[in-house]
């Protein structure tokens, strides 16, 4: 028996399910969407305009992590809703993250930013969602974002399907995080940034 086989059963199964899903998504990403996203970010960096990210719940935590990495790269990046987030306008980019594309506060923020003539980039699992329809550009990141319906129970039993070990929007949120971290790696190379450059921008005052 390997050391891996000694791990807790459902921990191991969930780990495989999540990591396998993230790997499989790589073949479903649309190159034109990813390339436009990266190009838009490079343009806003070179122009000195701002990037504002927005997301709710766990997607909001993913958004915050992305905003932090953009700051480390030298972007003027902000999280919508923070007290220090400035006004936005023409030339700025808003990255709106919602797996379902129906999160009301994210949609409202995107609509408001669009009125200010900012460019809206949606990261969502649904191309026909309200958020996607509001956005100027969309990156489709597949992921399970809905709870399995109780009236699907018998159909799931007949098909031999089990309840997913990654509940609610976990697969979208984890995949979006890996996707955005990979975008950061691409930006590092394109902007000739090193890990030392990022380290210089890292917080050096820590709360004990």
The number of C-alpha atoms within 13 Å of 45 and in the hemisphere containing its C-beta is: 19
Question: How would you label 138-170 residue by residue, b for 16+ Cβ within 10 Å and e otherwise?
Answer: bbbbbbbbeeeeeeeeeeeeeeeeeebbbeebb
Q: Which of 97, 96, 21, 94 is nearest to 59 (CA)?
A: 97
From 111, 163, 173, 196, active-site residue:
173
Identify the H or E element spanning 76: strand 76-79
- DSSP structure class, residue 169: T
- DSSP structure class, residue 191: T
Is 13 an annotated catalytic residue?
Answer: no
Which residues are marked as active site? 173
């Amino acid at each position: 028996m390997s050391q891996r086989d000694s791990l807790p059963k459902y921990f191991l199964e969930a780990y495989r399910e999540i990591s396998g899903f993230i790997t499989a998504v790589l073949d479903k990403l649309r190159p034109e969407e990813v390339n436009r996203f990266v190009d838009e970010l490079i343009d806003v960096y070179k122009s000195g305009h701002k990037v504002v990210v927005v997301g709710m719940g766990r997607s909001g935590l993913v958004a915050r992590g992305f905003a932090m990495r953009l700051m480390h790269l030298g972007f003027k990046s902000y999280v919508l809703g923070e007290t220090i987030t400035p006004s936005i306008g023409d030339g700025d980019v808003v990255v709106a993250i919602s797996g379902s594309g129906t999160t009301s506060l994210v949609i409202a923020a995107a609509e408001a930013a669009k009125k200010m003539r900012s460019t809206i980039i949606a990261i969502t699992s649904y191309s026909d969602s309200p958020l996607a329809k509001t956005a100027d550009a969309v990156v489709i990141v597949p992921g399970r974002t809905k709870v399995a319906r109780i009236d699907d129970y018998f159909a799931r039993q007949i098909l031999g399907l089990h309840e997913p070990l990654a509940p609610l929007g976990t697969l979208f949120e984890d995949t979006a995080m890996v996707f955005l971290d990979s975008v950061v790696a691409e930006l590092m190379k394109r902007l000739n940034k090193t890990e030392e450059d990022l380290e210089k921008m890292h917080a050096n005052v820590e709360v004990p």
